Amino acid sequence: MKKKLIVANWKMNPTTLKQAEGIVKRYKDVSNLVVCPPFVFLNSIKLNKVQLGAQNCFWLNEGSFTGEVSPAMLKSIGCKYVILGHFERRSIFKEDNKTINLKVKACLKSNLNVILCISELKQLKKSLDGIERLNKVIIAYEPAWAIGTGKACSASLAEKKRLLIKELFPSCRVLYGGSVNEDNYLDYNNFDGLLVGELSLKKEFNSIL
């Protein structure tokens, strides 16, 4: 039986390298943890077992795309995972399912594991259209209204969504994300793991590892 996968999404935090190194030092060095810091701190994760992930990437490996980071670049510095389609990318940066689909295909081609975030099931089929290597795709269900609000999804509703996702894509692992904390994480024990935001920056994060 696989261990629960715990993904730490730091988002645009912290502001200094010293702070980033301090967060990492607090973590348990466990193989089921994926740490996804901002791009500038990716090389600061210095634990033996913890796996490295990115929060986003572009859909081509090189070219005249100022400010973008490619799957090949991520792979070259040891990344094994990449988060795609997060609600914040969809809502703030207006990424649509077509764009996310291109990114998923590019990451799989570079042999990266994709953590595909969805808040609605209709996003799922379009984001995974034409993709066959589903064994390297992990689906994270994050209801939009739960992200960063402190109001997590009820266990019963989350379970309904998990079952629907597994029915559509039975070979994919399914994570729960959205206001996960040290008091409610066990509510999502039927999931294959968790995508954790704010809590992953705090010392209490170790309690769920």
- Residues known to be catalytic: 86, 142
Provide CB contacts within 8 A for 85, sequence distance 6+.
Answer: 95, 97, 100, 103, 116, 117, 118, 123, 127
From first CA to last CA, the distance across the chain in angstroms is: 16
Alpha-carbon distance of 139 to 170, in angstroms, equals 11
Alpha-carbon distance of 132 to 149, in angstroms, equals 35
Count other C-beta atoms under 10 Å from residue 150's C-beta: 9
Between the alpha carbon of residue 165 and those of residues 47, 112, 125, 159, the distances in Å are 33, 21, 10, 10
Count other C-beta atoms under 10 Å from residue 70's C-beta: 19
* DSSP secondary structure letters along 86-122: -HHHHHTS---HHHHHHHHHHHHHTTPEEEEEESSTH
- Give the pair of three-digit tokens for residue 175: 């994570």
H-helix or E-strand spanning residue 174: strand 173-177
